[in-house]
Amino acid sequence: MTVSSLTNVGISGTNTNAASSSSANQLAQNFDTFLTLLTTQLKNQDPTSPMESDKFTDQLSQFAQVEQGIQSNKNLENLLAMQSQQRQLSALSYVGAEIEAVGDTNWLEEGGELNYKYNVSPKVPRLQLQVQDQSGATVYSEEVNDVSGLQSFTWDGKNNSGVEQAEGAYTLVLKPMAANGDTFKDEKGKPASVAIGIIGSVDSVDITDDDIYLRIGDVSVPFTTLTNVKLGASGTDTGTDNGSDTGTDDGSDGDEQEDAA
């Protein structure tokens, strides 16, 4: 079962020319109705007082303009589809790359470990970190103090008793706390904001009509959530910036360039 690295990320298929095709079909039906009414009116008009032809000409001209507009929309949709295909092909180069992305769920391989990054704002005196399995059960927890700025967290894949956990998807849950152990709230009574990112290697790419998803094991990562990419073949870092607090540059080999995807 594929698990999303983000909550409530849906996948839906769409037809590239669905909008223009529907409009074209409706226009054809309206034009057929118009011609039927026109023919009927011409057959039954008073010969001594024929209908004015300029009105029909204006209506025919309007139909032609609408048809041209629909065709223009169809051409634009085709161009967008071609652009999307090029973007999809470029995503295939990410297989084998190490990525950082916004999300809280990562895939643990047997005997492996998981890497996360997180940022809590404002600074909190205590922070409880929990690692939960796919059923929502907490398999590991620890508490850290005086958390501020961007932090890294590596889980060795074992519970608090040192027992190695099974391969699967695991979610990092952060609970900012006040000094007395209660849920943290600032002077205005607002809870701390939490941003979480995952780090992992891409195993495969899922291409759908509406988006591209990079797979880390069975965890699906939306392409638009990437914050940093280290291409496996060349060792090149491709930094991306989508406004997330978890996007960082680790200073690895290679030139940085903005991800155009």
Encode pLDDT of 134-148 as tens digits. Answer: 999 999 999 998 777
Residue 5 contacts residue 105 (beta carbons within 8 Å): yes
Provide the pLDDT for residue 23: 66
3-class state of residue 36 by DSSP: helix
Q: What residues contact 249, with CB distance under 8 A and at least 6 apart?
A: 228, 237, 239, 256
Determine the pLDDT at residue 8: 32
Residues of the chain short of pLDDT 50, as ranges, are 7-16, 233-235, 242-245, 247-261
Give the CA distances from residue 107 to residues 52, 86, 126, 171, 175, in Å, rounded to whole numbers and listed in that order.
74, 28, 27, 9, 21
